[in-house]
Structure 1
Amino acid sequence: MKASHRTLVRNLAATLLVVLLAAPTTALAETRIGVVKLNRLFEEAPQALALQRSLTEEFAPRERELRSKQEELVALQERLQQSDGFMSEDERRRVEQQFRDGQRDFQRTQNEFMEDLNLRRNERLGELQRLFIAEIQGYASSQGYDLVLVEGFIHASDALDITQQVLQVLQRRHQGG
């Protein structure tokens, strides 16, 4: 979650809390409040687990390619270390150049891989966050909640925690679709 979004959520929660505290006690007693631990949804929801699996599958070929390049570099480095006295000066320079070129190529490829992986992960996490928010809103509406807080709170009684119920809705949706 972006810092600006968290700040907005915290400010909104603080404002709503002030409004609720200023409301007459009868209105406050009738107010139904729930709390959702979004990080738990990201860890346990089947949609989050499926996202992780799909990212792993999507990027596995490139990760294998990186590992292969790294193994080639290690082999070249070992060849250089073991070649003292067994390799001509020209051959040694050629292998050293090949090693340096391989290191540069590996670093570039690794950086591109990490950038692509992070970009894709962030895109998918954004989609997942939107899904979670929609499900939380739907659950809260169907169960008659007046206010549902997501993170950004200092303390909440376990009695207010509806994370498990939202998680069950997400599990049913995942099984059904």
Structure 2
Amino acid sequence: MKTFYRNFGRQVVLVAGLSVLALTATAQDLRIGAVNLERILREANMAKTAQTKLEQEFSRREKEVQGLASQLKTASEKFEREAPTLPEATRGTRQRALVDQDREFQRKQREFQEDLTLRKNEELQTVVDRANRVIKQVAEAEKYDFIIQEAVYINPKHDITDKVLSGLNGSK
């Protein structure tokens, strides 16, 4: 069985090596472009518009959650100051009220974050979908073989992000 795996491993290495050689031989004919998607999501007009739209849509709820946090903090500080002088029954009642208030605050904060994240993802997906269509148009028009969106390093001569941004910002 060991012989099988050893031979199989050698065959895999051989095939991989031949593939690299074949790719190297044809790489001179390939036209490769790269896009910085993070930059597109930061600089595209439609991404900026989506961000503004989200801020407007969620500003009221954000203020509401901040108000609840402020009320909870004030009530908690007041309780801490007054707790030593309160009768046991009153102290227990106010402590339970604070726990309920904190629970309500946590729930509203969690719902706000979940709704904001969901809407942000929807808006970003719209931008990404539009960017992908523009990337495809640029690739077809300029006869690219590959367009890479995520890379550790991109040689500036292969970066087509500006072209994609122009296409995004120039059309609706």
What TM-score bracket applies, with the shorter chain setting the length? 0.7 to 0.9
CA offset at residue 90 of structure 1? 3.4
Query: What letter corresponds to residue 160 of structure 2 in structure 1?
Result: I
Query: What letter corresponds to residue 130 of structure 1 in structure 2?
Result: D
Distance 1:22 1:96 in 2: 75
After the TM superposition, list the runs of 4 or more consecutive aligned residues in structure 1 that deviate by more than 6 angstroms.
none
Match of 2:16 in 1: none
CA offset at residue 137 of structure 1? 0.7
Q: Per the alignment, do residues 18 and 147 of structure 1 end up closer, same or farther by CA in structure 2, a change over 3 Å counting?
A: farther
Distance 1:117 1:81 in 2: 34
Query: How do 1:122-133 residues align onto structure 2 when only pairs under 5 Å count?
Result: 122-133=121-132
Distance 1:139 1:24 in 2: 20
Preserved contact between residue 76 and residue 95 of structure 1 (Cα < 8 Å): no
The structure with more radius of gyration: 2
TM-score calculated relative to the size of structure 1: 0.75
RMSD of the alignment, in Å? 2.4
Which of residues 18, 21, 25 in structure 1 aligns to 2:24? 21
Q: Per the alignment, do residues 24 and 163 of structure 1 end up closer, same or farther by CA in structure 2, a change over 3 Å counting?
A: closer
Distance 1:20 1:116 in 2: 46
Match of 1:52 in 2: 51
Distance 1:100 1:91 in 2: 14
Which has the higher mean CA deviation after the structures are superposed, 83-92 or 40-49?
A: 83-92
Structure 2: gaps of 5 or more residues: 1-19
Question: What percentage of aligned pairs have identical amino acids?
Answer: 32
Preserved contact between residue 130 and residue 168 of structure 2 (Cα < 8 Å): no
Is structure 2 residue 144 aligned with structure 1 residue 141? Answer: no
Deviation readout 1:77-136 (Å, 9 max, x if unpaired): 111122145544433322212111001111111111112222222222222211110011
Distance 1:18 1:57 in 2: 55
Match of 1:102 in 2: 101
TM-score calculated relative to the size of structure 2: 0.77
Structure 1: gaps of 5 or more residues: 1-16
Query: What letter corresponds to residue 161 of structure 1 in structure 2?
Result: D
